[in-house]
Amino acid sequence: MARIPPLHPRQWPAEVVAALAAIDPTTRGRPAPDLGRRPSGRDAIAALARHPVLAKAFLPFNGYTLLDTELPIREVEILILRVAARRQSRYLWGQHFFAGRAAGLTDEEIARVAYGPKAPFLSPLDRALLLAVDELIDDGVISADTWAALAAELDERKLLDVLFVTGCYETMAWVMNSLDLEPDPRIPEYLTSSAESR
């Protein structure tokens, strides 16, 4: 059971509802995700709804790191999934396994993200992204060699985005794990239905 019980959506303060626009892709002219085929992330938002001032401050940053960086969404999802794997955040992994698929990652590529930078068949950029997450988590800094590998393919803005996406989702993993949020119980059903539709 969650340490801070999620607030039912009918009880969400108006400021929280307004702040949710920051993580809604439709506010940026993008298609809404098919929530009938992927887990709900409502409990994370519902816990944050208990602190409207924090929600109002954090959700725009979260929305930027998820939807507005200059990194392609595929690379964003690689960073998020690696954080989830390293932090053993079942809730974050459950959400972004499906988001990663929607971003074009295959199940094999997602498995490589979970395995880490020593996985076979990684592109140089994918390996550098995984190393960057691991080094930030382990040492709080990206090594010179990993920075050089990233800088060979990413400009300054994208390099900054790597840092901030990783930091945002490191924070989210702490929150989800510390609040003891349970992943959506329908995940096995979604996995089965998505396998059947392939």
Amino acid at the residue 185? P
pLDDT at position 92: 94
Alpha helix stretches (DSSP H) within 26-184: 42-48, 52-63, 73-86, 90-102, 107-115, 124-139, 144-151, 156-178
Give the DSSP H or E segment for 192. Answer: helix 187-196
For residues 150-172, b (16+ Cβ closer than 10 Å) or e, as one string?
beeebeeebbebbeebbebbbeb
Residue ranges per structural domain of the chain: 9-22+41-68, 71-182
What CATH architecture does domain 71-182 belong to?
Up-down Bundle (1.20)
Distance CA 45, CA 158 (A): 27
Q: Give pLDDT tens digits along the chain (198 positions).
A: 789 888 888 899 999 889 888 888 888 877 777 766 666 677 888 889 999 999 999 999 999 999 999 999 999 999 999 999 999 999 999 999 999 999 999 999 999 999 999 999 999 999 999 999 999 999 999 999 999 999 999 999 999 999 999 999 999 999 999 999 887 777 777 766 655 555
pLDDT at position 43, please? 82
Query: Burial level of 71, CB count in 10 A (0-12/13-18/19+)?
Result: buried
* pLDDT value at residue 29: 79
Q: Give the C-alpha separation, 23 to 128, whole Å.
A: 27
